[in-house]
Amino acid sequence: MKAVVLAGGYGTRLRPLTYTTPKTMLPICDKPVVEWIIDYLSKQGFDEIIITTNYLEDKIKKHLGDGRDFGVKIYYPKEDEPLGTAGSVKNAEKYLDETFGVIQSDNITEISLASALKFHKERDGIATISLVGVENPWQFGIAELNRKNQIKRFIEKPKPDECFSNLASTGLYILEPEILDYIPENTPFDFGKDLFPLMLKKGKRIYGYKAEGFWVDVGKPEGYMKATEWIVSQIKRYISETAEIEGKISGPVHIGENTVIKKGTRIQGPAIIENDCIIEADVQIQPCSIVKSGVSIGRETKIDKAVMYKNSKVASNAHLQECIIAENCEVGNRVEIGKLAVVGPNCKIADSTVVLPGSKIWPDLWVEGQISGIVRTKI
């Protein structure tokens, strides 16, 4: 079976992380998002995967290659200009001669695409959209179904007062090749905004599969953190024989090679501390925290559901709360970084700085004081 992974986006909602790394190559626990997606598709029975790329595409191709290391075949149709979600699938038409799946490259999920395929084949439709109930339908494409689960109305990101349903599109589709005939060539065209409304207008049958299981869009910091929490919650306890541990470890915690954890430090799982890290005395690392390789953490610092990328340093008495610190950053003494703040690569944060929740610091900056909003230049 074939599936298309839509990986051509710029990842603007995850800036500053995506200035030098495509969204689909951002790490979640021990591997990038796209590798989680490949694993997911393989387990669902899809062994030929077409990845639509554009932005920083070489990094994706270098990591995945032809797919043989992941037990699948991977193809990369050439897309010189962004063509939108449906337009990029049209651009891959030569690979799509049978019923196929589609997944967005920012989806982390356990929804059974195999069950959606079975549902689709039992009906005579041109498309099946996997749907889930949500509390904020205005942020998604939404659908209204009849008693036979056929979609009667579909609208992409309606205004709150336009919402007629809480059934949101997950971006997981099962499609027939026939649908490609309705997508113009070399033209930006979107599934939710353009193609699905067009199909309904033409009387084509589109069905909604009411899906179950975890699903999240990692294209925003809150979704990225939610996916991280879901994946890390599934780890098993592992402590490398080369790790030096004087602190207290409780629950399912992964401790990598040559990591040093000093006296008085407490790490509560689920949590991951990778290789070659130095955790000084009296540090607290709370559940669902990720500390990547080469990180150092100073005395009496608290890491609370935060994600730290490789080779970053945090000094003493700091507090990192449900934030993302990119690689090669230096965080000073007594720094506080709030929920869903994102610090780009190679930043230096001065002592006693307070980074307010939701703030974003662009790469290669030195900042101090109280930080709020988006910081693009040195403060």
Encoding tokens for residue 359? Answer: 């703030």
Where in the sequence of the chain do the CATH 2.160.10.10 domains occur? 238-375
pLDDT for residue 378: 66
pLDDT for residue 365: 95
Mean pLDDT of the chain: 93
Q: How far, in Å, CA of 38 to CA of 12, rounded?
A: 23
Q: How far, in Å, CA of 252 to CA of 287, rounded?
A: 9
Beta strands 167-175 and 127-133, pairing class: antiparallel
Residue of 334, 288, 293, 280 lying closest to 307 (CA atoms): 288
pLDDT for residue 336: 97
pTM check: above 0.85: yes
Cα of 327 vs its chain's centroid, Å: 17
- Assign 379 a pLDDT band (cuts: 50, 70, 90): low
- Tens digit of each residue's pLDDT (9 = 90 or more) over 104-159: 998 999 999 999 999 999 998 999 999 999 888 788 888 889 999 999 999 888 88
- Enumerate residues 6+ apart whose C-beta is below 8 A from 94: 77
Torsion angle, alpha carbons of 230, 233, 235, 237, to 10: 160
pLDDT for residue 164: 84
Percent share of the chain, pLDDT over 90: 80
Q: How far, in Å, CA of 132 to CA of 152, rounded?
A: 16
Q: Which CATH class is domain 238-375?
A: mainly beta
For helices 33-43 and 57-64, the axis angle rounded to 10 degrees is 50
Q: Which CATH class is domain 2-215?
A: alpha beta
Beta strands 307-308 and 215-217, pairing class: unpaired
Where in the sequence of the chain do the CATH 3.90.550.10 domains occur? 2-215
Q: How far, in Å, CA of 63 to CA of 71, rounded?
A: 14
As a whole number of Å, the end-to-end CA separation of the chain is 52
